[in-house]
Chains A and B, each alone.
Chain A
């Protein structure tokens, strides 16, 4: 049919690696495929309805909940997960700031928050507190009360501006 493609097999590009998914039910979410078929367990599965943000990934440079993406429809798109945030054992500046401010308790929400915050600071390097809260409003944390997470974002912002001057 024209330019449309009918596929029982599809290919995903995740963190610059290509994977062929075959023999899978085409209704699977990207989150399910990342975790259960590709063994990328960093993106967390909690609500499966886009409420908690713990499965946040970047798709073609857009922040999305991977549980709300049909995996087969991610073909031809660049997926970046939490596994791409650190450079080997070298943590990213947001990860370092989370440690320095104590923004982690149980850690379940942390991967989603890190992906979200990296995306947010890229477009808003010197945010107001209210902007930080709005940016992370789709990432639920039930432990920290968010105070130290907001501090971590502010710390990254300060460190980046110091580094750049």
Chain B
């Protein structure tokens, strides 16, 4: 096994162009588990966690640009938590303080787990992922990047450089169901974000399909029943809203939960998020 430490994004482009089979090590919270259990064949590894550019974020205009090696910890606390509250909420539910100190937003995306907790938030917000290689850059929607269970559309020589996340004016929620409050992989999760100025509501679901997904039917339906001036929602719409949320889910039975429980809880999370953001109008 050869091991390299990339010092800059240019350096990383070169190292990947030279040998695209090299694997990238960011926070290591998934990678090292697979190495420890010999589930990952490692012949060449490039550590990217010392690249300063990837560890920075900045707020420009109506969005934030977050480097792929920004940690959950940094998103959970500090200025990012007020700019993108749902992303901070999701970060805070991930693993433990130890895990959040090292795990990164880029790693959460590239790992592409159905239970990746930041992914529903990034989907609901309409975040864009900046991809780079020696041959250039391209930008993908989150659902173009994530192609299935733990698979992504990155070419071998490409890496995630940053994520462009819109800053919206309006309440946001991230909710998650699991057997305990900490150290838990979600059984179901749901992100709901709003933009009062654009009268937009974005809803995305985690752990109920091969990849986290938007619930556009529920978004369209509930939009018709929201009074944005008073931040209220028609009480008569709730039942149908919850049904539409459940119908956008396509969960499986596995060791973590049953399909039936996931279907039930995703509806509950949808209703709960709605009630936290809007008041009920009869």
Residues of chain A whose beta carbon lies under 8 Å from any beta carbon of chain B: 1-7, 25-27, 29, 48-51, 53, 56, 62-65, 67-70, 72-73, 75, 116, 120, 134-135, 137-140
- Residues on the B chain within 8 Å of A4, using CB: 4-7, 11, 15, 46
Q: What residue of chain A has the Cβ atom nearest to residue B182's Cβ?
A: A137
Q: What residue of chain A has the Cβ atom nearest to residue B49's Cβ?
A: A73
- 8 Å CB contact of A29 from B11, B32, B46, B96: B32
B98 within 8 A of A: yes
- Residues 238-267 of chain B: 1 if any A CB is under 8 Å from the residue's CB, otherwise 0? 000000000000000000000000000000
In the complex, besides A68-B29, A116-B98, 12 extra interface pairs with C-beta distance below 8 angstroms are A2-B10, A7-B3, A26-B3, A48-B33, A49-B36, A53-B96, A62-B101, A68-B102, A70-B45, A73-B25, A73-B28, A73-B49
Complexed CA–CA distance, A25 and B42 (Å)? 11
Q: List 10 A-B contacts (CB under 8 A).
A: A5-B5, A50-B33, A50-B95, A62-B101, A68-B102, A73-B49, A116-B98, A120-B97, A137-B181, A138-B95
- 8 Å CB contact of A116 from B28, B29, B97: B97
Q: Is the CB of A138 within 8 A of B96?
A: yes
Q: Is the CB of A138 within 8 A of B49?
A: no
Complexed CA–CA distance, A4 and B102 (Å)? 21
- 8 Å CB contact of B4 from A5, A65, A116, A135: A5
Q: Is the CB of B33 within 8 A of A63?
A: no
- 8 Å CB contact of B11 from A1, A50, A120, A140: A1
Q: Is the CB of B1 within 8 A of A27?
A: yes
Q: Is the CB of B18 within 8 A of A3?
A: no
Complexed CA–CA distance, A7 and B181 (Å)? 41
Interface size on B, residues (CB 8 A): 37
- Residues on the A chain within 8 Å of B37, using CB: 48-49
Shortest Cβ distance from B26 into chain A, in angstroms?
A: 11
- 8 Å CB contact of B32 from A6, A51, A69, A137: A69
Asked if A6 meets B4 with Cβ closer than 8 Å, knowing A29-B32, A50-B29, A64-B101, the reply is yes
- 8 Å CB contact of A65 from B10, B14, B98: B98
B2 within 8 A of A: yes
- Residues 25-59 of chain B: 1 if any A CB is under 8 Å from the residue's CB, otherwise 0? 10111001101110000100111010000000000
User: Which residue, of A4, A26, A53, A63, has the highest number of chain B Cβ atoms within 10 A?
Assistant: A4
B8 within 8 A of A: yes
Shortest Cβ distance from A139 into chain B, in angstroms?
A: 8
Q: What residue of chain A has the Cβ atom nearest to residue B96's Cβ?
A: A138
Asked if A69 meets B96 with Cβ closer than 8 Å, knowing A3-B8, A63-B101, A137-B183, the reply is no
B99 within 8 A of A: yes
Complexed CA–CA distance, A102 and B10 (Å)? 54
- Residues on the B chain within 8 Å of A75, using CB: 5
- 8 Å CB contact of A70 from B8, B14, B28, B183: B28
Q: Is the CB of B45 within 8 A of A26?
A: yes
Complexed CA–CA distance, A48 and B36 (Å)? 7
Asked if A68 meets B28 with Cβ closer than 8 Å, knowing A56-B98, A137-B181, A138-B97, the reply is yes
